[in-house]
Amino acid sequence: MVAGVAGLILSMNPALTARQVREILQTTADKIIDPNPDPQLGLRYGTYDAKSHSQWFGYGKVNAFAAVKEAQRRATAQRRLGQVVQQANQTPLTIPDNQPAGVESAITVAQNGMVADLQIQVSLEHEFLGDISVTLVAPSGASRLLQGRTLGQQTDLKQTYNLTTTPSLVGLLGQPARGVWKLRIVDHAPSATGRLLEWQLSLGLG
């Protein structure tokens, strides 16, 4: 459990050191408190000291949600945006039915700089959006899932993805902005069809 949460935190914010990850896990853990003495020895070790440590319960129970939110907060707290670049691809694309490779739509960014913030707006239509996944691919090849197969029988998707709504995007902070960004849409099941209408990429450069 702990190793899995630590790995997730590092995937979101690779700049963190092992010590910082450990600190996040410790400070966000749910505290288990037992003020009663041990019935045999009479010891009271069920509370926490100034370092949030208990001799009985350690630092408490790992709270994965709280730890991930804290890692996200740290990754974005010191952002300094020098420039915002906005570009769109408004060329409609048919989404191949039941094709693992899917289809990709590209936006080329000419500006230099490192990504300090990002937002993606997607507009597409499909007869059954539960078949669809949407992934952003950075020029480096790093990718982040924006939309999984969770939309069920909906047919229209007009959605904005950012660091708040899609925490995994934190993993793209610090990436070079210059190059070709791709939006990959995959239809994972047969029968229903659709198309990408347009998408927009907004990058805050540090």
Shared domain for 115 and 195, answered yes or no, is yes
Q: Which of 27, 60, 77 is the last residue of a domain?
A: 77
Shared domain for 123 and 193, answered yes or no, is yes
Burial of 77 (0-12, 13-18, 19+ CB in 10 A): exposed
Shared domain for 166 and 105, answered yes or no, is yes
Contact assessment for residue 198 and residue 123, using Cβ atoms and an 8 Å cutoff:
yes
In the chain, what percentage of residues exceed pLDDT 70? Answer: 92
Per-residue pLDDT band at 12 (split at 50, 70, 90): low
Shared domain for 69 and 148, answered yes or no, is no
Contact assessment for residue 48 and residue 54, using Cβ atoms and an 8 Å cutoff:
yes
Per-residue pLDDT band at 79 (split at 50, 70, 90): low
Contact assessment for residue 204 and residue 81, using Cβ atoms and an 8 Å cutoff:
yes
Shared domain for 11 and 30, answered yes or no, is yes
Per-residue pLDDT band at 164 (split at 50, 70, 90): confident
**pTM tops 0.85:** no
Strand segments, DSSP code E, in the chain are 83-89, 93-95, 99-109, 115-126, 132-137, 143-147, 156-162, 179-187, 194-205
Could you identify the residue written with the tokens 């896990």?
25
Q: Distance between the two ends of the chain, CA-based, in angstroms?
A: 35
Mean pLDDT along residues 65-72: 78
Q: What is the DSSP string of 128-151?
A: -GGGEEEEEE-TTS-EEEEE-S--
Q: Which of 21, 44, 77 is the last residue of a domain?
A: 77
pLDDT value at residue 76: 66
Mean pLDDT along residues 125-140: 97
Closest of 66, 80, 69, 90 to residue 13, by C-alpha: 69
Q: What's the total number of domains in the chain?
A: 2
Per-residue pLDDT band at 106 (split at 50, 70, 90): very high
Tell me: pLDDT of 206 over 90: no
Residue 60 is part of which domain span?
A: 2-77
